[in-house]
A and B are shown apart, each in its own frame.
Chain A
Amino acid sequence: MNQIIELPGRAERAATDASVLLDCRNLSRTFIVGGSLFSKAKELRAVDRVNVSVRRGEVLAIVGESGSGKTTLGRMMLGILPPTSGEMLLDGKPVSGIDRKTLARRIQPIFQDPYSSLNPRKTVAQIIGLPLAVHGIEAGAARDRRVEEIMERVGLSRRLIHSYPNQLSGGQRQRVAIARALVVQPEIVVCDEPTSALDVSVQAQILNLLVDLRNEFNLTYIFISHDLGVVEYIADQLAVMYMGQVVEAGPRHEVLEQRRHPYTQALLGSVLTPDPSLGLPDLQIGRGFPDIMHPPSGCHFHPRCPSAMPVCSAVEPPAFRDSAGLVHCHLFSGEGSSATRPIAQ
């Protein structure tokens, strides 16, 4: 694991500034699906009692397969989707008590698809200037100057200022989205799979840009992704989600190294390699993603878990917490079995 590229300043920052900036407590979001005269509405638990927190200046990566609730969690953090229950604390104060505009200046998003995240009828200047207009920051020439400054900072040529999104490449579009997020100088940026819609070569540029900007503006990232290579590169903390719940969380190094939850093992084992002779990875968890409308009893992962025990289908696993982080699994509940559990490689 020593090949992991260390980010500049990571160690110092973790040592000096360890205050929790954003703290999600028992955050849940339920969607009501269907429901008409003849059929009863059903509840979909997209996010289920999630506890995650991120310290100032750190990068919290949230990983999980499609449908695990990552994006819903991100939208709640942005304040565009109210949580059904639970609360979020920003700097120790509940977010629900913070005015929407004030919150918007502190938390900003970067979305996955730069083709749908930019209004096709607006110029780059209007798109990046929108947050300034909404918050009444600067006007006229001063606003244009500010837009130009941030464009320069994210590596966009100034002559693109009056062009439309359809004239830009995917990487340029994502730079516009980054500029729009950073123009109000937020503290937290929620990056919802910011590189997954881009070419691999462009992904690297955008990731490096995000890392540079983080160091320059002392940003805190919530980095939602299913690309483990990217996560390994950028994250400080890691939370693994499965069916709306966090199954394992902790410092990136510990989670990637120890892989205590069987789902984490499967997820990390599913990474494709560039060498085709190795074939597809064998997951041993079956292919079927359970019906999210009817989550399995007990531990949601038990139907696919290679180490499932009778207790798994009956009792929801309690949280087990130690220096290496948090894990929700019966393998680690009771009798301190965690210390002796062999690490599957």
Chain B
Amino acid sequence: MAISDINPAGFVRGPASDEIFEALPPSPRELMRRRARSHGGLIFGGGFVLLVVALAILTPWIAPYDPYNQDLSARLIDPIWGAKGSWAHLLGTDALGRDFLSRLMYGARVSLTISACASLISAIVGATLGIVGGYFGGRIDGFVSYLINVKLSLPPLLVSLSLVSVVGGSVTALIFIIGFLTWDRYAVVTRSVSMQLRNQEFIAAAQAVGASHTRILLTELLPNVMNQIIVIASLEMAVVILIESVLSFLGLGVQPPTPSWGLLVAEGRSFMFFKPYLIVIPGLTIFLMVIAINLAGDGLRDVLSPEGRN
């Protein structure tokens, strides 16, 4: 039979279907907003994190005392709920008579600064390696995979311990050491996502337009992996806070008298049996912060990339 017989009858010339009055489906941002509003974990976790961050930022104006100001006549005062608690020191004082609430608030500044900066560094390092490796493939990807494997074989705590003991425990050193030891998860995830995206036709379209690799990486690929990066960053932040606390607790992190949450626990250690609040309060703070960040991170994942659930 001649194929003209089966020429579809639909090939008629006419105006494109007029969809002007049809309502648009919601935009991706609107969908995210809807998912976020009904997500309890995100609201609770995110709320707690935002509260702590806000307090940490406002600390210089709202902290009741100077965190370095010693008052040996007011040593080891119980918190407000204790037998000898007073309103003058809500969370009591430490062994040198410094107001514990103020130390905790200033400690939040130090701990959060370190974890935020370290997470930023690791996100930049990891995402750059992952996107470049996944997009270019071949030998470049082989090199990136090699770096990831090397990194995965390094135990972060052990390496940071030895590095800190060599270069000393300043805040800057901590930020860089932790940052360069936690980028692997970013690299693994962004690499696999980029490998999938590389074969999508919108990448080929950008190449056919003559766009440079840099432009494709930054404006085509990066926006598509940004959600994953944010989610990993929120989860890694909790890990980084823990590493910082552990290092400071072991005396290899932030050096006294600068307060940090891990250091507060370390300082309270010698009084642990008769003044337990000295380690319970900072310990509980670290615990709550890590839980809240994890809740918020899980929530962010559900909101930003719901495809990955179940």
Contacts and interface: CB of A to CB of B under 8 A. Distances in A.
Interface of A: 1, 3-5, 75, 78-80, 100-101, 103-105, 107-109, 111-113, 116-122, 130-131, 134-135, 155, 157, 159-160, 163-164, 166-167, 169, 171-172, 175, 177, 180, 184, 200-201, 203-205, 207-209, 228-229, 232-233, 256, 268, 271-274
Nearest to B29: A164
B195 to A, nearest CB: 15
A204 to B, nearest CB: 4
Interface of B: 1-8, 10-17, 19-20, 24-28, 200-202, 204-212, 215, 219-220, 223-224, 226
B136 to A, nearest CB: 14
Contacts of A273: 1, 5-6
A169 B2 CA distance: 34
Contact of A205 (B16, B28, B204, B219): B16
B209 A134 contact: yes
B10 A204 contact: yes
Contacts of B224: 119-121
A204 B8 contact: yes
A111 B204 CA distance: 9
A78 B25 contact: no
A3 B7 contact: yes
A111 B7 contact: no
A79 B92 CA distance: 72
B172 to A, nearest CB: 35
Contact of A4 (B4, B19, B25): B4
Contact of B11 (A75, A105, A109, A204): A204
A5 B25 CA distance: 38
B28 A164 contact: yes
A5 B11 contact: yes
B215 A232 contact: no
Contact of A159 (B2, B20, B200, B209): B20
A273 B3 CA distance: 9
A272 B6 CA distance: 8
A136 to B, nearest CB: 11
B4 A200 contact: no
Given A119-B220, A121-B224, A256-B3, 19 more contacts: A1-B2, A3-B4, A5-B11, A104-B210, A109-B208, A117-B204, A119-B223, A130-B209, A130-B211, A134-B211, A157-B20, A164-B28, A166-B25, A175-B16, A204-B8, A208-B13, A228-B3, A229-B8, A272-B6
A166 B28 contact: yes
Contact of A268 (B3, B24, B26): B3
Contacts of A75: 204
A272 B5 CA distance: 11
Contact of B209 (A3, A104, A157, A233): A104
Given A1-B4, A121-B223, A167-B27, A130 B16 contact: no
Nearest to B31: A166
B262 to A, nearest CB: 39
